[in-house]
Amino acid sequence: MHEALAYLPQILPAYVAYLIAVVSPGPAIMAIIATSMTHGRKAGMTISLGIFGGSLTWATAAAAGLATLLQTYAMALEILKIFGGFYLLYLAYKAFRAVRASGDLPAAREEARSPSFKSLILRGYGIHVTNPKAIFAWLAIIALGMPQGAPASVAMLIIAVCCSTGFVVFMGYATLFSTPHALKIYRNARRWIEGAMAGFYCFAGIKLLTSNI
């Protein structure tokens, strides 16, 4: 690992690029925010774990040389893009249904209808692992921070530092948007928030389906 420290000048720009990407609102961050405000901190942190798992999957794949595989199995990436787009549209449909629900649910009913641990993990993982843009973001980060001829320990250091930061950011969003103040805002503007989420997921899904990657 000591030899990897010699590449810090190259690793730092990659880390900055990752930091900007991970804090920027996207399907994953919006899912954490919506889940935290709707079902509370525990649910928000749970879906964050699933998203973190998806990020770690693509980070590891990128470091292992995914670019070569993508060139060979381009059709697999296209299928993944289509699946991811329709999954985002499905989330938009669920958010739209929440908009149409009449009135605010009592606290007991909200808790009863809270998604299970397994479903939240799978939802978070599905959002991130089916987004091809996350794949290319990690490919760019690894390529930026790992010059040709660099040892494997450099990739390990990039993944360790970036994923640790991602974990903190995801959990931070879950904590911030599950505070009593955030929950009060949600209860007062539930329809508007759910409507915004429905529109965002619909836009992201259509954009993913029509994008050229």
What are the domain boundaries of the chain? 15-102+116-210
pLDDT of residue 1: 53
pLDDT of residue 141: 81
Rounded Cα distance, 184 and 12, in Å: 39
pLDDT of residue 104: 46
Residue with tokens 């909200």: 110
pLDDT of residue 51: 96
Rounded Cα distance, 25 and 168, in Å: 15
Instruction: Indicate the pTM of the whole model.
Output: 0.74
pLDDT of residue 4: 65
pLDDT of residue 24: 77
pLDDT of residue 111: 45
Averaged over successive runs of 10 residues, the pLDDT of the chain (213 residues) comes to 71 86 83 89 96 92 66 62 76 74 45 78 91 76 76 84 94 92 76 77 79 64
